[in-house]
Amino acid sequence: GQNIDQPTEMTATEGAIVQINCTYQTSGFNGLFWYQQHAGEAPTFLSYNVLDGLEEKGRFSSFLSRSKGYSYLLLKELQMKDSASYLCAVYQAGTALIFGKGTTLSVSS
């Protein structure tokens, strides 16, 4: 089976750093993705991890530990436009990409 857990909501202030955690249990692992989704809009691709470690891309970084079934998305220098839902997704065996329910991040000034 497949289970992905992430916090429902988080709040932070402009300029701060926030870490969004994701834990997963999967029958087969073939990569973990983070997507950003603004309300009513399409999910947009942020990052991809298939090996353990940290992937950095500008203000966003993503970390993966396959042995722990754990990932996090780190957002630095938060901006108001970062207020959105952040979706963790894992490929299970057989190609389906399974999404967590998302973490709604609210950034305030």
Residues forming the site for other proteins (CB under 8 A): 30-31, 33, 35, 40-45, 48, 87, 89, 91, 94-102
Distance, CA of 18 to CA of 85 (rounded, Å): 13
Kindly tell me which of 69 and 102 has the beta carbon lying closer to other proteins. 102
By the 10 Å C-beta count (0-12 exposed, 13-18 middle, 19+ buried), 84 is classed as buried
CA separation for the pair 87, 50 (Å, rounded): 16
Enumerate residues 6+ apart whose C-beta is below 8 A from 81. none
What is the nearest approach in angstroms of other proteins to the Cβ of residue 59? 19
Nearest to other proteins of 43, 78 (CB atom):
43
Q: Tokens at residue 45, please? A: 């691709």
User: Shortest gap between Cβ of 78 and other proteins (angstroms)?
Assistant: 24
CB of 86 to other proteins, least distance (A): 12
Rounded to the nearest whole angstrom, what is the least distance from the CB of residue 2 to other proteins in the complex? 10
The nearer residue to other proteins, 13 or 44, going by C-beta atoms, is 44
